[in-house]
Amino acid sequence: MINNDNGNWNVAVGYESLGGNTSGTDNVAVGRASLYSNTTGQNNSVLGARAMSFNETGILNTACGTQALQDNVSGSRNSAFGFRANVGAGDLTDATAIGADAIVDASNKVRIGSGYVTSIGGQVGWTIYSDVRVKDRVKENVPGLKFINALKPVTFHYNIAKQNKLMGIESKIESRDRSEIEEIPFTGFLAQDVDAAAQRIGYNFSGIDRTGKIMGLRYADFVVPIVKAVQELSDKVETMNAPAVADQVKMTALENQVNDQKQIIGDQQKQIDDLNSNWIKCSIS
């Protein structure tokens, strides 16, 4: 804090921590060169060598880990946890990166793990708010077969080098040999193909994530048009089966009539047999 002018209520622990601070207040910097470039930034909490070292005016940020949130300059309310967990731009807001080398590339976004992570999960599915009380403008206008039939299922392999280049982080993460994730044959869709299919039918599909530098897909959202497609197929099957059902009803009615006639004929035959038996008895007498 050698350049501090009128900044108050700051805590700096470590060589050159908060070294450029002039009037920033309520900052906590623990670790060599942490918050080094901070000038007027406030309410930042930093733990780790060179964590948030490029921050100048950013406020309300939290960084934990060596070089965590290092590239933030003016962004606010960002969080980074893990070695080199970082932002893809210096002015993001409400962005969160969790895990070593995790990079979040857009505001209001959460990134868990680096591009080399092969599994994320737990024993239950992710819960999404779906209460009718928090939803407005509800419409039953989801396309079914028209959208599903336009999709192109594929298998593919990730190219992490290309991914890092698109995100502009190739210089921040050391190059590695062909990683484990690149050997996994994934099944799914191409985001651009899904986007094109949705646009062709005028469907504003929420399953396409256009935030950040790389397009993504929210596969859970595909369930809804799939359900609609199944319903449409069910309606078609019922329509196709309707004549057969009607014919079956007619056939059942005819069978009932035949059975009734058989019963009548049987009853009449019994009466005839009884009359014949009585006539024979009378003749003998």
Four-point Cα dihedral 159, 161, 167, 168, nearest 10: -170
Considering the domain boundaries, does residue 244 fall inside one?
no
Considering the domain boundaries, does residue 124 fall inside one?
no
Q: Span 48-65, mean pLDDT?
A: 98
Domain with 10 in it = 1-114
Do residue 11 and residue 61 come from a single domain?
yes
Measured between alpha carbons, how far is 104 from 118 in angstroms, rounded to an integer? 17
pLDDT of res. 16: 93
Question: Which has the closest alpha carbon to 92: 64, 116, 124, 60?
Answer: 60
Considering the domain boundaries, does residue 20 fall inside one?
yes
Q: H-type helices in the chain, by residue range?
A: 145-148, 160-167, 191-200, 223-284
Do residue 89 and residue 146 come from a single domain?
no
Q: Span 137-159, mean pLDDT?
A: 97
98: Cβ–Cβ under 8 A, 6 or more apart, which residues?
79, 80, 81, 82, 85, 110, 111, 112, 113
Do residue 110 and residue 171 come from a single domain?
no
Do residue 21 and residue 83 come from a single domain?
yes
Do residue 110 and residue 7 come from a single domain?
yes
Considering the domain boundaries, does residue 214 fall inside one?
yes
Considering the domain boundaries, does residue 158 fall inside one?
yes
Do residue 97 and residue 157 come from a single domain?
no
Considering the domain boundaries, does residue 165 fall inside one?
yes
Do residue 32 and residue 76 come from a single domain?
yes
Do residue 196 and residue 164 come from a single domain?
yes
pLDDT of res. 50: 97
Which CATH number does the domain housing residue 51 bear?
Answer: 2.150.10
pLDDT of res. 272: 82
pLDDT of res. 6: 84
pLDDT of res. 266: 84
Do residue 106 and residue 148 come from a single domain?
no
Considering the domain boundaries, does residue 33 fall inside one?
yes
pLDDT at 172 over 60: no
pLDDT one-digit tens code per residue, 246-268? 778 888 888 888 888 888 888 88
98: buried, middle or exposed (CB in 10 Å: 19+, 13-18, 0-12)? middle
Measured between alpha carbons, how far is 45 from 60 in angstroms, rounded to an integer? 8
pLDDT of res. 76: 98
Measured between alpha carbons, how far is 100 from 65 in angstroms, rounded to an integer? 9
pLDDT one-digit tens code per residue, 88-135? 999 999 999 999 999 999 999 999 999 889 999 999 999 999 999 999
pTM: 0.78
Do residue 3 and residue 101 come from a single domain?
yes
Question: Which has the closest alpha carbon to 210: 200, 199, 201?
Answer: 199
pLDDT one-digit tens code per residue, 223-240? 999 999 999 999 888 887
Considering the domain boundaries, does residue 22 fall inside one?
yes
